[in-house]
Amino acid sequence: MIDWSRVRTVFLDMDGTLLDLHFDNHFWLHHVPQRYAQHHGVEEEDARRDILERYQHRSGTLEWYSVDFWASELGLDIACLKEEVAHLIAVHPHVPEFLDAVRAAGKRVVLVTNAHHKSLTLKMSRTRLDVHFDALITSHELGLPKEQPAFWQALQAVEPYAVEHTLLVDDSLAVLRSARDYGIAHLVAVHQPDTRQPRKDVDEFQAIDTFLDLMPGGIS
Ligand SMILES: [Mg+2]
């Protein structure tokens, strides 16, 4: 799928790519509306409708990914609510082996996420994946979400890379498109970000079922 001899840097998304998106979907679509309804004394269905509308309004922005933004918008301690369902945080199959194999092959391995630093901290403390990376970068540090091509230029200032020698694996088509617009040469999507949802076809990009699909014989 990938000519590894051409790759020097590997950028990996976190939620839905390395980790099962079930946690995030459950958290935002069920847990938050439930707790919001309890906290504000409204019907859960009404709370869900109201909250989904607010999500849509912020989709693709840094605010959508910000724990602090939603805490003040909804009047809930979002970080604390995440702890309540943290047992649902799960690593997709073959992720640690893949990260170690790529690093052993001399590639630079960098987590590049839109997740807020509080979410990143919770997920790394739960999964211990952080030890497999050369660097962890959140888009909040750069002030732009990955959906904007300008993000990939801004990333050069903290993590210099050559677009023709860089691979990005991300479950968001919007993010893959923005990376393609900037010129990143090797792009891979994910067929099943959330293991509780059906597998999705992806026409626009190459896509993996698991990281075994990307593990080249030469470096495994
Ligand atoms: Mg993702």
Residue 40 Cα to ligand 1 middle (Å): 30
**In the prediction, which pLDDT does 1 show?**
87
Residue 14 Cα to ligand 1 middle (Å): 6
Residue 202 Cα to ligand 1 middle (Å): 15
**In the prediction, which pLDDT does 218 show?**
52
- Go through the domains of the chain in sequence order and give each one's CATH number: 4-20+90-214 (3.40.50.1000), 23-87 (no CATH)
pLDDT in tens, 34-65: 999 999 999 999 999 999 999 999 998 999 99
Residue 119 Cα to ligand 1 middle (Å): 13
**In the prediction, which pLDDT does 60 show?**
87
Pick from 64, 62, 82, 151: which is nearest to 112 by CA? 151
Give SS3 for 155: helix
pTM (predicted TM-score): 0.95
Residue 124 Cα to ligand 1 middle (Å): 15
Give phi and psi for 185, each to the nearest 5: -80, -35
Alpha-carbon Rg for the chain, nearest whole angstrom, is 18
Strands 135-138 and 108-113: parallel
